[in-house]
Amino acid sequence: MPALVFQDLTLGYDRHPAVHHLQAEIAEGSLTAIVGPNGAGKSTLLKGVTGALAPLDGKVSFGSLRREDIAYLPQQSEIDRSFPLTVVDLVAMGLWRETGPFRGLRPRHRDRIAAAIQAVGLEGFERRAIGALSGGQMQRALFARLLLQDAQLVLLDEPFTAIDARTMADLLGVVRRWHGEGRTVLAVLHDFDTVRAHFPRTMMLARELVAHGPTEKVLTAENQFRARQMCEACAGPPHVCGRSAA
């Protein structure tokens, strides 16, 4: 049973489509990169999966999963780091479904928070304010929060942008761990070398589906050229192709 099915899915803003008539399946337990030029609709697609963006047409169907089984990592630029949270506070939010807004953290919860922080290499930063973290440290904290969500479907929007090589290697290790546990992972990525090295399957978008399948068959020069042409053709005003949607 597939984890996700996109059935003639169209997503957009103010009735202007950003993803057009997408027809595809994501296999349960797969590790898939979502690639494409700027404005291809990659982030928009993840928002459609989470339910943050309602379809203009078609639908997203879940196999054995529910939307509640999703863990979602947005781009860092979408996170307000001025809010007065410590690393522990941020990571503990991954237990929200268990603890709710009013129940306190029990010893077993604190043990799991400590284990998640250790798993991403942030020991010693527990009481650091998130506004004082570097980009790589913040991403480690966000991955720790994802670990605590214990979700079967993990969505990552540009998880390795503007972080150092060591942090990237460590977080790729977390992604491989999820894959090894049979979880389904979709990640929006720009670096094709990273995709080729670590992601067995790839979906290439350019507002429409360009290709989907084994990475070596998707990341061809021909497909990349076609994707650029398709996005350039939609570089006109919003009434022609809709808003840009990275």
Per-residue pLDDT of 120-144, as tens digits, reads 999 999 999 999 999 999 999 999 9
Number of domains in the chain: 2
Instruction: For residue 40, tell me if it sits in a domain.
Output: yes
Q: DSSP secondary-structure letter at 127?
A: T
End-to-end CA distance of the chain: 29
Q: Which of 117, 136, 151 is the last residue of a domain?
A: 151
Task: Clarify whether residues 162 and 139 are in a common domain.
Answer: no
For residue 162, give its domain range.
Answer: 1-65+153-246
- Say if 70 falls within a structural domain: no
In a domain, 72, yes or no: no
Question: How far is the C-alpha of 119 from the C-alpha of 121, rounded, in Å?
Answer: 6
The verdict on 2 and 88 lying in the same domain is no
Residues 51 and 161 in one domain: yes
Task: Give the pTM.
Answer: 0.91
Residues 63, 27: Cα–Cα separation, whole Å: 9
Task: Encode pLDDT of 4-30 as tens digits.
Answer: 999 999 999 988 899 999 999 999 999
Task: Write the CATH number for 166.
Answer: 3.40.50.300
